[in-house]
Amino acid sequence: MQVVLDSFYAEIRTYDVSQGCATFDSDSALREDDVICIFESGLMTHVGKLKKSEGENQVLSKIGLGRIVRSNLGFLTRSYSADAVTVYRLIPRERERASKN
């Protein structure tokens, strides 16, 4: 997963969530469909997509064997004992940009 992120995505921001997720929940700079990666002790433990709902940033992801759900980051960071969350954004490919002009 890290190889794909490093190849096609730009790292936007990393949050220290050991003291809570309030900054992430209300960060208006984040965009719909940004990729959210949850880390514990430097290891990626969970990945999801950002979805906005009533001005709050939420994460769409699959938890365990269950179905895909939308949840707040606080729930996920507690579930995965996370200490950091990194947000990635897809980098538009030059060829696709040129064809749109």
pLDDT tens, position by position, for the chain (101 residues)? 889 998 999 999 999 998 888 889 889 999 999 999 999 999 999 999 999 998 899 999 998 888 999 999 989 998 899 999 999 999 987 545 555 55
Model confidence, pTM: 0.85
Q: Long-range contacts for 31-37 (Cβ within 8 Å, ≥24 apart)?
A: 31/89, 33/90, 34/87, 34/88, 34/89, 35/5, 35/9, 35/87, 35/88, 35/89, 35/90, 36/61, 36/73, 36/85, 36/86, 36/87, 37/1, 37/5, 37/85, 37/86, 37/87, 37/88
- CATH number listed for the domain at residues 2-92: 2.30.30
